[in-house]
Structure 1
Amino acid sequence: MRALPVVVAVLLLVVPVAGAISPAAGSESPAVVQASGPVAVDSADPVVVDPVAVGSADPIAPSRPQTGPSQIDRANLTFRTLSAPADADPRVSSALRGANLGPALSFSVDDADAAAETAAVVDRIENAETNTERQRLILAALSQVERDEVSLSSRQSDVFSAHASGNLSDRELLNELVRISATAREYDHRLEEIDALSEETDGFSSPTRLDELQVALQVYEGPVRDLALSTARGERSATEIHVESTASSVTLAAIVDGEYVRETFRYDRWDRGGGPISNDRAIEVTTESYPETAALRQPDAFGAGAVQRITIPHEYGLLRTFVSGGTERVFVEHQRIDLDDFPDTERVAATGDGFNVTVERSYVGGPVTVTVLDEETGEPAPDVTVTKSVGGGDSRAIGNTNDDGVVRTLSPAESYRITVVDEPRVVVVDGLRPIPTPRLVDDE
């Protein structure tokens, strides 16, 4: 079993989303046009939107292209998501992520220490004086990784709970999650080294539990954690990340390279002491939980023991789940969805001060697309500032429209307001709320 590549992780920095509008563009300006109330738009009406690229790094876990025509009715397509427990009151926030050299250097030292320990383990095994001693050292190293994985799980659970209770900031949560992900990858790399040494040892083969442990370690990774890492390393420009936590779960989401990227971890759906689950049963669980996505392409299973990893690369993006043998439920989800094809939205429109503004709302943490057109010509209005105000708070810039008059942000959990600013013209779309989240079939 091949492990994922090792990534050197660094600490991250959260800075407030900057760019509040100036008084000249505020609600007291005589040029402001307040829409007379959002107007629902038929979801079948076309709106021209193009992805807004963030940074220049390679796409995260690219999916395979779809082979053959899709038989799915795109008008009725939905992408269900693993979310916080339905009876929970999650802590929800959003912050801009950027690079910070000081913490990055500090964390690099921690990562180097973990890599050094792997090198030390390999050195001890390779220098064993007898074959029996070599086998003993291999088994001891494997047992140590098993204990480390248990500690990693406990550490992550504590982080979830601390953030949900308000005892950990967004920055601290994301920093720790990236640390956990990097540590898991180093353990995974260590297992690869142990596997290779096992194959080179006379009369000894890799224990089955090594493969099981590799799959279990991959649950601590995720596409948004990878995005946060690349942003902190300065490989991408600052990126808005949605953070949602309960005592037993965390959801992270972002918009990057024209895609909506999301990951969720639910401890309440994972039985660590549960029995094994087969590839076929794990595929059935994922198919039953995500019927619309599973209809796009046959899932691929990869795993052993009590955790199975199921992947569905499809024409609109990618779904990856981890299924627990003890509960026979999905407890980790990774999603990538092309924003051009994102189906779970409802439109609201407003017209005024020379602009036609359309806001495509989605569920909490989902992508919100704002399209600004010239009222007279119907042409896109590029380089227009768009701001967002949540729950009556201050307006903060989410960016400028691109050549197609489009800019995107993430949906908050509260009522929010979108303001289009091109001084002296201002259009406000108020009273916006997220739509219901399309939850898993077994979690509705």
Structure 2
Amino acid sequence: MRALPISLAVLLLLAPIAGAVSPAAVAGAVADSATEGIDPAAEGTAPAAEGTAPAADGVDSTGANIGSPADGAAERVGEDRDRRQVDPANLTFRTLSTPSDVDTRVGASARGANLGSSVGFSVGETDAAMETAAVVDRIEAAETSAERQRRILAAINRVERDEVTLNSRQTEAFSAHATGNLSDRELLDELVRIAATAREYDERLDELDALAAETDGFSSPTRLDELQVGLQVYEGPVREFALSAARGEVSATEVYVESSDRSVVLATIADGEYVREVFRVDRWDRGGGAISNDEAIEATSAAYPETASLREPDAFGAGSVQRITIPHEFGLLRTFVSGGTSQVFVEHQRLALDAFPDTETASETGDGFNVTVDRSYAGGPVTVTVRDEETGEPVPDVTVTKSVGGGDSQAIGTTDADGVVRTLSPADSYRVTVVDEPRAVFVDDLDPIATPRPVDDTDE
């Protein structure tokens, strides 16, 4: 096995901190020019929905990227002949949550730059990238085609075993947070590490697929494609935000965390969007049989009928996991559907805050202010609007605080030019206070509204 040069190892460690290049790229990963930048799940023989094309990395054939703001989504969807019509009065965006009949733990805290977490993430990514480089070196050093094939298959088997370990590790993290043995920050850090490990395994499988294609009389087994789709369930837009925040690449903001022993909900507000991811282990049958594109589309459409009415869903997957994506004029929904249960077990959503429909309004007037609070469900976005009581004009630069369950008030922020500031709804009763000393207005006894769950999750 060829050792990596010291200079390369140092570059691998520093690159993620600087945000310059990915570990796999620095490691000299083998990349086929014909497939470079292609979604890992799109390579090999993974079946795509009829009429769809291979997708760019992190992007479905629809052109929507769950890991970045959905700017321009309305323009793209408006030009799409598959776009459907919906009555705005009936619009709702259903969302998974923790099971309704289990004990949960809920928290929320600011997520910002953290040198310790950032360095830890970089070290983990470097270790995984170096392991991938070592695997490639070992395969390329094989003296015969038969030995090369054996080493490729052994490397795929190793990733398959490691994915099982990754799943157990994630479930243990859910449970540890739910029982109070992990803090919100510790849980987020662990989920970020798990996502980074899954990405590296995915990239390693890309390397193995390329090596297999270069081997005479050999091609990658179908299970490689299935494994790549399965690894994508460990990533998510809130985890991606948490990583960027720890590295100081984005401004600090609040992250909502809710867990049970077999599920987690993460949510935040970023770039004018509400961002949410949910993982439900209880809805994933890891031993379930294969599920087709059409079956997965039907399952998602039935569970999220209002969202599916906005645009035709796009399917991509292989084996027992299918990934469904619905980019629409208000944002994007991505689900992962399990064979066996035919249920959505992972959900990612991005929704434009200005068009968020799942709210109920409370208001209070006093001290020259008219304060409106658009309440949402636990973990959902709450919009506070402050206007002048006499003129109705927005009031900028006033401080707004939130206190939960009779606790101390915590500053949400100051109102913008439109008199608006946003936060995430707690799971308990809360108070919003508008402060412009000596004036103050209190909006008391605010409760979250019911979560609009998917159709097949309403009775669970």
Matched, 1:332 2:332: no
Matched, 1:59 2:68: yes
How far, CA to CA, are the matches of 2:72 and 2:164 in structure 1? 31
Residue of structure 2 in register with 1:357 after alignment:
371
How far, CA to CA, are the matches of 2:70 and 2:290 in structure 1? 27
1:60 touches 1:223 (CA, 8 Å); kept in 2? no
Matched, 1:102 2:113: no
Residue of structure 2 in register with 1:371 after alignment:
385
1:9 touches 1:179 (CA, 8 Å); kept in 2? no
How far, CA to CA, are the matches of 1:231 and 1:181 in structure 2? 15
What TM-score do you get using the length of structure 2 for normalisation? 0.83
**Bigger mean CA deviation after superposition, 97-106 or 83-92:** 97-106
3-state SS of the aligned residue for 2:216?
coil
How far, CA to CA, are the matches of 1:194 and 1:281 in structure 2? 30
3-state SS of the aligned residue for 1:110?
helix
Cα deviation, residue 62, structure 1: 6.1
1:275 to 269, 276, 289: 289
Counting matched residue pairs gives: 391
Cα deviation, residue 60, structure 1: 4.4
2:450 to 429, 436, 442: 436
2:386 touches 2:394 (CA, 8 Å); kept in 1? yes
Cα deviation, residue 103, structure 1: 3.1
How far, CA to CA, are the matches of 2:87 and 2:328 in structure 1? 14
Residue of structure 2 in register with 1:290 after alignment:
304
Residue of structure 2 in register with 1:25 after alignment:
none
2:335 touches 2:348 (CA, 8 Å); kept in 1? yes
Matched, 1:132 2:146: yes
Runs of at least 5 residues in structure 2 that lack an aligned partner in the other structure: 1-14, 18-66
Letter paired with 2:455: V
Cα deviation, residue 328, structure 1: 0.7
Letter paired with 2:78: T
How far, CA to CA, are the matches of 1:216 and 1:60 in structure 2? 24
1:63 touches 1:317 (CA, 8 Å); kept in 2? no
How far, CA to CA, are the matches of 2:344 and 2:166 in structure 1? 20
Cα deviation, residue 376, structure 1: 1.4
1:401 to 412, 415, 421: 415
Cα deviation, residue 206, structure 1: 1.3
Matched, 1:314 2:325: no
Residue of structure 2 in register with 1:249 after alignment:
263
Matched, 1:123 2:132: no
3-state SS of the aligned residue for 2:78?
coil
Residue of structure 2 in register with 1:113 after alignment:
127
1:90 to 96, 104, 107: 104
How far, CA to CA, are the matches of 2:335 and 2:354 in structure 1? 23
Cα deviation, residue 63, structure 1: 7.3
3-state SS of the aligned residue for 1:313?
strand
Letter paired with 1:306: S
2:170 touches 2:191 (CA, 8 Å); kept in 1? yes
2:165 to 151, 164, 170: 151
What TM-score do you get using the length of structure 1 for normalisation? 0.86
3-state SS of the aligned residue for 1:380?
coil
Runs of at least 5 residues in structure 1 that lack an aligned partner in the other structure: 1-7, 11-57
Residues 70-113 of structure 1: per-residue CA shift (max 9 Å, x gap): 62111210000011101112111100011111332233122111
Residue of structure 1 in register with 2:223 after alignment:
209
Residue of structure 1 in register with 2:194 after alignment:
180
Identical positions, percent? 73
Letter paired with 1:437: T
Cα deviation, residue 231, structure 1: 0.6
Residue of structure 2 in register with 1:170 after alignment:
184
3-state SS of the aligned residue for 1:93?
strand
1:277 touches 1:328 (CA, 8 Å); kept in 2? yes
Residue of structure 1 in register with 2:213 after alignment:
199
1:386 touches 1:398 (CA, 8 Å); kept in 2? yes
Letter paired with 1:389: S
1:391 to 386, 405, 409: 405
Matched, 1:263 2:277: yes
Matched, 1:161 2:170: no
Flag the structure with more relative contact order, 1 or 2, with Cα contacts below 8 A and sequence separation at least 6. Answer: 1
Q: Provide the aligned C-alpha RMSD in A.
A: 1.5
Letter paired with 1:386: V
2:124 touches 2:193 (CA, 8 Å); kept in 1? no
How far, CA to CA, are the matches of 1:425 and 1:380 in structure 2? 16
